[in-house]
């Protein structure tokens, strides 16, 4: 399931982040990928352990915790601290697949990557190119969202970023281990939860309560808690 989450960050928070990122010292983005990714990746990143990356990443996660649809869609168990990248001057990232596991920064344990997230920090008209292309069984999907919006998609998908030929594309990106590893089950739970919330907005009744009971029983059955 691919999902567009609107207004994860308000305009004033995007502007504050951009002011800091525009003045940041970027490094070669190939430092954080393996041999396969390094062959097709040409961009810049904030150093993973930089104080600025940690500070801004905490702001992203705090905003997500307040977003009305994020928990329902991702059912997050653990999240890699958000990273930040910049594409400009023809920078691109060819088709690749995200690694199935990632080591948590500063820890010995690993996280399974069920979901990938890209949070856009530039308006589409600020740059040319830079579309995120996600390939799945239904074809290729092109994503270029307003600043503050985020795309959430299965980490098992092949994807790429097209060359940026004008301006700069700045984003935050990270990976999530979900309580429910299967994408189809996660999508079923999300759709059911959205129906329940719409029904509750009209008033609680016995049928809504029954659906909520089914939702939680399914989550109990499928969750890797």
Condensed to tens digits (0 to 9), the pLDDT of residues 30-81 reads 876 667 777 899 999 999 889 999 999 999 999 999 999 999 999 999 999 9
* Two structure tokens written together for 84: 């930040």
What pLDDT does residue 73 have? 98
Closest among 217, 224, 214, 170 to 17, alpha carbons compared: 170
What pLDDT does residue 16 have? 98
Instruction: Answer yes or no: is pLDDT of 147 > 80.
Output: yes
Q: What is the mean pLDDT of residues 147-162?
A: 97
pLDDT > 70 in the chain, percent? 98
Condensed to tens digits (0 to 9), the pLDDT of residues 163-200 reads 999 999 999 999 999 999 999 999 999 999 999 999 99
Straight-line distance from the first to the last Cα atom of the chain, in angstroms, rounded to the nearest whole number: 21
Q: What is the rounded CA–CA span in Å between residue 37 and residue 97?
A: 8
Q: What is the mean pLDDT of residues 190-213?
A: 95
pLDDT > 90 in the chain, percent? 88
Q: Where are the domains of the chain?
A: 3-178, 183-222
pTM of the model: 0.94
- Report the CATH architecture of 3-178: Sandwich (2.60)
Beta bridge partners of 55: none
Q: Give the DSSP per-residue string, 176-202.
A: EEESS--HHHHHHHHHHHHHHHHHHHH
């Amino acid at each position: 399931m691919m999902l567009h989450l609107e207004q994860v960050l308000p305009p004033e928070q995007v502007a504050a982040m951009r002011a800091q990122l525009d003045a940041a010292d970027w490094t070669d983005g190939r430092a954080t990928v393996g041999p396969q990714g390094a062959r097709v990746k040409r961009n810049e990143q904030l150093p993973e352990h930089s104080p600025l990356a940690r500070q801004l990443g905490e702001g992203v996660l705090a905003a997500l915790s307040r977003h009305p649809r994020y928990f329902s869609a991702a059912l997050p168990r653990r999240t890699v601290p958000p990273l930040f990248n910049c594409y400009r001057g023809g920078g691109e990232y060819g088709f690749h697949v995200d690694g199935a596991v990632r080591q948590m920064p500063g820890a010995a344990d690993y996280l399974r990557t069920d979901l990938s997230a890209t949070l856009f920090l530039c308006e589409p008209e600020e740059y040319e190119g830079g579309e995120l292309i996600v390939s799945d069984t239904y074809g290729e999907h092109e994503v270029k969202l307003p600043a503050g919006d985020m795309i959430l998609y299965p980490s098992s998908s092949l994807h790429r970023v097209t060359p940026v030929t004008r301006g700069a594309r700045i984003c935050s990106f990270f990976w999530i281990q979900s309580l429910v590893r299967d994408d189809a089950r996660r999508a079923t739970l999300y759709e059911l939860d959205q129906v329940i919330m719409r029904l509750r907005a009209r008033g609680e009744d016995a049928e809504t309560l029954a659906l909520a009971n089914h939702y939680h029983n399914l989550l109990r059955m499928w969750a890797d808690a």
